[in-house]
Amino acid sequence: MKRTVKDIEYTQSSIDLATFAKALGHPTRVEILKHLNKQSCCFTGDLVELLPIAQSTISQHLKELKNAGLIQGELKPPKIKYCINRKNWKKASLLFKDFLE
């Protein structure tokens, strides 16, 4: 890899769309978001029960969704409650809608 994405000029909307899309680009993360969207919020533990993958892997996926801005975590010791980030969800919704017409 000789060049990084940062060297190239893309429109901000292309970058934003690609970032959201990348986060949605794995079925596990889609399932997480589906579950989260259905009941608005849930704990990591709920997802560990729901999905047949390791707890650490789910944490990793949650981190990616968080980094993309699609979810946010709220401390409810000793648990962590994850919720859809409605502001960015809406932003993504509009971006995809506009892009796909």
Partner DNA sequence: CATTTTAATCGTAAAATTACGATTAATCTT
Partner DNA sequence: AAGATTAATCGTAATTTTACGATTAAAATG
Structure tokens at 77: 């010791």
DSSP label at 42? Answer: E
Nearer to DNA by C-beta: 22 or 86? Answer: 22
| CA 39 to chain CA mean position, Å | 16
Give the three-state DSSP class for 9.
coil
Check residue 41 for interaction with DNA (CB under 7 A).
no
- What stretches of 1-101 show up as alpha helix (H) in DSSP? 12-23, 27-39, 44-50, 55-67, 86-100
What is the amino acid identity at position 24? L
Check residue 101 for interaction with a second copy (CB under 8 A).
yes
Check residue 48 for interaction with DNA (CB under 7 A).
yes
Check residue 24 for interaction with a second copy (CB under 8 A).
yes
Residue ranges that bind a second copy, judged by CB under 8 A: 3, 5, 8-11, 14-15, 17-18, 21-31, 33-34, 37, 51-53, 89, 92-93, 96-97, 99-101
Residue ranges that bind DNA, judged by CB under 7 A: 1-5, 8, 22, 25-26, 28, 43-45, 48, 53-64, 73, 75, 77-80, 82
